[in-house]
Amino acid sequence: MKKILYTLALAVTLWSCKTGSSSVSQKNVVEVNINLVDVKDDKVLVTVTPPPIKTDEIIYSIPKTVPGTYSTDNYGKFSEDFKAYDAKGNALKVERLGDNSWSISNAKTLNKITYLVNDTFDTEKGTGFGNDDVFSPAGTNIKAGENFLVNTHGFVGYFQDKLEVPYKVTITHPETLWGATSMTDEDASKTSDVFTTSRYAVLVENPIMYSKPDYTTFNVNGMDILIAVYSPTGKFTAESITPEMKTMMTAQKNFLGKVNANKKYTVLLYLSSMAKDDAHGFGALEHPTATTVVLPESMPKERLVESMKDVVSHEFFHIVTPLTVHSKEIQYFDYNAPLMSEHLWMYEGVTEYFANLFQINQGLINEAEFYTRIAEKIEQSKKLDDTMSFTVMSKNVLEQPYKDQYLNVYQKGALIGMCVDIIIREKSNGGRGILDLMHKLSLEYGVEKPFNDNELFAKITQLTYPEVGDFLNKYVAGTTPIPYDFYLAKVGVTKSIEKKAGAVFIKGQTPYIKVDKQTKEISVRPEIELNDFFKNLNLKAGDIIVSVNDKAYSLDNIYELIGQSENWKENDPITLKIKRDGKEQTIKGTVKLPFEETETFKATDASKEKLRNAWLKG
């Protein structure tokens, strides 16, 4: 999973269907019908026909948590009017057990259950950070006749002790909508899709997005790629972003080489209108052969493409871990009483490291850009608890205070991957790195063979060097902060200070402007020291920005403003129309960028060039 905290911080501060057989099913399969045609009150009817039940009572559950989210989301609370019937249509006694489970009595006679599903997008209050919102890419959308984001765990549950039973899912949908997924539709009908999976876990890992057909397909080194887009106003199309996606995914396949043998991969891109009842949690969620991405439609294309590169590359590399290399906690995932693994440093951290390393490795960014990314991760990691054991945090990530440290998996987690990579490079004289380690782990374990959490460090040490084991025990399991300078010096890289132009409207995660959700007006924030851009134009706290260079801006197109500002140059002429104390006035002047000294790294030791090139270029 990759969560992104965009400049949305500005806005924050700022239901007939096929019911299966008429008698109790004798097939050892769970049959599900999802009706996307007769939607009533923004709710979808789900009908489930169970396999033979041999107990007097059975529990049906919808997940509390799903793999890759590391959060408690209680998807069952979005289901209502849960009913159970025997073959004659008589209602059976049902008792709701908390948010996510229902107990059904006289279960040996159970013929079908029905319930209504509400979507999660309607309930989101913020960005998916610091609140109880379901992270949008792991959520669901129900927009009758237009779009259905079917993250299957939000619609379909499982019977107790029957997680390994095959599933047959029939989805009826409007003829105008097409379902994009990595699964194979076994029904030739234009209004009905049939998908079968070997077990519940496989179904959960296959999201489907129904919308007006807008997709592209291409092949990268033997892997078929599908890019599907839902853009509410039609601003973006799959075709418009495919060239950049093809370049990136080709580079990823080249980087992974023999480590990946996927034959199919689907990218589902949902673009949010940012309306009150739409998605507000931006980022992506990984699956073995797919990723769901949610981003705001208002983003400029350049920024959208860059964000897609960031999140899709991260999710794609999850193919390596945890989708291939993982512990028993993940292999035998308990959707309603989940046990977390100790190794988020690998599942998310190494994945994030690969998402950056492959870009320098494949020539998509230069050395300076790579070092800047490393420096930024070090800076961000130090804002979190740098002395908290990463394995302890990972094991307890659903609870406080560890929950608040989760975002460090993208910062310190990636840096842990970097240090392990450097150690292996140094000890092997540049011949091997962490990608080689992950390949060996995938051969040692794999999709159907998990490892024991407490044995991973010893196995990694066995496959690499004692120094790697020492590092993991001291800095990952332990509480000692990592001396990054020490490890970067091994490849001839040292600290450097550079003066560079910062963003005009935001510094780090602190915005200089805010948005009134009622009026949608953008204004200058009070109680914050303004940067040189604001000071140069004599902008003051409370000033409402009406337009910039004769283009009106509000919450509806704030990302366009942010995107445009990234292209401004020092001393460019600029005209702002503002409203101060209720009166409009025009300000003309020039752009003064907020230059600031930032810490980065650069290569300084020529004697380490060969090792450094092996690290960066493989």
How long is the chain?
A: 618
Residue 11 vs residue 363, higher pLDDT: 363
What's the pLDDT at 2?
73
What's the pLDDT at 303?
86
List pLDDT tens digits, range 158-185: 999 999 999 999 999 999 999 999 999 9
Least confident of 99-113, 201-215, 220-234, 553-567: 553-567
List pLDDT tens digits, range 494-549: 999 988 888 899 887 789 999 998 899 999 999 899 999 999 999 999 999 999 99
Does 154 have pLDDT greater than 50? yes
Query: Hey, which of 18-27, 370-379, 560-569 has the most confident mean pLDDT?
Result: 370-379
What's the pLDDT at 131?
53
Q: What percent of the chain has pLDDT over 70?
A: 94
Helical H runs in 104-235? 200-204
- Residue among 524, 554, 553, 552 nearest 539 (CA): 524
Render 307-364 in DSSP notation, one character per residue.
Answer: HHHHHHHHHHHTTTTTTTS-BHHHHT--SSS----S-HIIIIIIHHHHHHHHHHHTTS
Least confident of 459-468, 486-495, 588-597: 588-597
Q: What are φ and ψ of residue 364, in 5° steps?
A: -85, -25
Question: How remote is the C-alpha of 114 from its chain's centroid?
Answer: 31
Q: 317, 351 in Cβ contact below 8 A?
A: yes
Average pLDDT over residues 282-304: 91
Average pLDDT over residues 549-571: 89
List pLDDT tens digits, range 383-431: 999 999 999 999 999 999 999 999 999 999 999 999 999 999 999 999 9
Least confident of 299-303, 339-343, 600-604: 299-303
Q: What are φ and ψ of residue 35, in 5° steps?
A: -100, 105
pTM to 2 decimals? Answer: 0.86
Q: In 191-253, at which residue ranges do the beta strands (DSSP E only) sit?
A: 192-197, 208-211, 215-220, 223-230
What's the pLDDT at 557?
87
Q: How far apart are CA 20 and CA 178, in angstroms?
A: 23
Q: What percent of the chain has pLDDT over 90?
A: 82
What's the pLDDT at 4?
63
Average pLDDT, the chain: 92
Does 127 have pLDDT greater than 60? no
